[in-house]
């Protein structure tokens, strides 16, 4: 797929830390319960750490106790791209940023969480940047 934000690999390596690059550009996964946003309850907007595109909002974040931030719906259905992932001997649905193609995590359905969509977008904290909103 062609992305609105398309940079050569060398530029991504310069702009991202080695761990950000491993997760965002090589579809890696951060260790469970280590990400900065796993337990965050701050009100705000979660954007792609690689390109800044808005992805999720705090009002759709919920506690799934899975070790990664979980959301039940993206901010906009066109904000993310869903791709079949058959790696690691299983079939999953990978979630990527629709603006730059960076790996965010995976989405799961039918797990029984009491959310409006019955979906769990299991997203790596390192793929996100939270911008708090001020109540006013």
pLDDT (0 to 100) of residue 134: 76
**What is the pLDDT averaged over residues 98-117?**
95
What pLDDT is attached to residue 95?
Answer: 97
Predicted pLDDT of residue 103:
98
The rounded distance, in Å, linking the Cα atoms of 10 and 58 is 33
**Second CATH level (architecture) for the domain 9-132:** Beta Complex (2.170)
Active site residues: 122
Give 1-55 pLDDT, tens digit per residue.
689 999 999 999 999 999 999 999 999 999 999 999 999 999 999 999 999 999 9
Judge whether residue 136 has pLDDT over 60.
no
How is the chain split into domains, by residue range?
Answer: 9-132
Query: CB atoms < 10 A from the CB of 58, how many?
Result: 18
Give pTM, 2 decimals.
0.93
Give the model confidence (pLDDT) of 55-106 as tens digits: 999 999 999 999 999 999 999 989 999 999 888 788 899 999 999 999 999 9
Count the Cβ atoms, other than its own, within 10 Å of residue 132.
Answer: 11
């Amino acid at each position: 797929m062609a992305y609105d934000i398309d940079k050569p690999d060398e530029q991504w390596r310069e702009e991202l830390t080695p761990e950000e690059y491993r997760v965002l550009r090589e579809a890696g996964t951060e260790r469970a319960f280590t990400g900065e946003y796993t337990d965050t309850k701050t009100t705000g907007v979660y954007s792609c750490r690689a390109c800044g595109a808005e992805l999720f909002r705090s009002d759709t974040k919920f506690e799934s106790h899975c070790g990664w931030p979980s959301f039940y719906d993206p901010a906009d259905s066109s904000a993310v791209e869903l791709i079949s992932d058959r790696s690691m001997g299983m079939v999953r649905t990978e979630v990527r940023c629709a603006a730059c193609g960076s790996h965010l995590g995976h989405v799961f359905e039918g797990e029984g969480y009491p959310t409006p969509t019955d979906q769990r977008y299991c997203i790596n904290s390192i793929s996100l940047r939270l911008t708090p909103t001020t109540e006013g």
